[in-house]
Homo-oligomer: A and B are copies of this chain.
């Protein structure tokens, strides 16, 4: 049992866990539901344990081993002291280290060095590590932030479909496809939108990128404005950290690569791995003798 480690990457949509040996080789994986420690500490704790247990099970270990294997957790919201305290109190692990989802994303993408990572999925958040210090930009959620994220893209495209329906803007293939999803009824689209979660809007982001790639005028407007919002945030990272390595990660990272400004494209690095790989690497550094100093 010596030198087994668990890495956990917990976010607002999913919690993922991996069991590894002391060299970082993955022995088992597990996935469960949301681990939003800010809004639901009980649910987050339950999903963290569920994902960890599934990873142990895949490696042939029992639930009892959960209590002895050291764990590194990268959790959204962990920089809020109250949330970090609450989640620690609810977890069964004997030895655990807790840090942000940003740190594991950055470690996974770039390794232990300095650099920046843009996490572009349903929302958008940016992390910079400089001389070992982490800084966060963005990540404020759908209503006032997350510019360039999938939810804002989906919402903007649906808004364009309504404007096209009213004859205020020119319709396009994209606005027709979106309106057809609601039986051609703007009232049905508005009804949907009033109870939609960000993830529901974000489901339409891929469709918008698809249409932008074929030159659809509405999709081009939405994607160009979104890419401009990402560019502005990346300019901020550059102003803070200078020409450090930069990775785009998250569900929309690959879709955005051709749309962001050349000044940023030219310094993009392909990410080494994901946040779960980062959590395993950090678990190694923390808990396995001889693999580096604790962060």
Contact = CB atoms under 8 A, between A and B. Distances in A.
Interface in A181-210: 186, 189-190, 193-194, 196
A193 B168 CA distance: 28
Interface in A139-190: 140-141, 143-145, 147, 155, 158-159, 162-163, 166-169, 186, 189-190
A6 interface: no
Given A168-B233, A232-B169, A141 B239 contact: no
A261 interface: no
A144 B155 contact: yes
A141 B236 CA distance: 33
Copies in the complex: 2
Interface in A234-270: 235-236, 239-240
A138 interface: yes
A232 B162 CA distance: 13
Contact of A141 (B138, B147, B194): B194
Contacts of A63: none
Contacts of A162: 140, 144-145
Contacts of A232: 163, 168-169
A137 interface: yes
A272 to B, nearest CB: 27
Interface residues of A, number: 29
A163 B137 CA distance: 9
Contact of A140 (B138, B144, B186, B233): B186
B236 A137 contact: no
A195 to B, nearest CB: 10
A181 to B, nearest CB: 13
Given A138-B166, A168-B137, A232-B169, A144 B240 contact: no
A252 to B, nearest CB: 18
Interface of A: 137-138, 140-141, 143-145, 147, 155, 158-159, 162-163, 166-169, 186, 189-190, 193-194, 196, 232-233, 235-236, 239-240
Given A143-B193, A166-B233, 8 more contacts: A138-B166, A140-B186, A143-B190, A144-B155, A147-B159, A163-B232, A168-B232, A169-B232
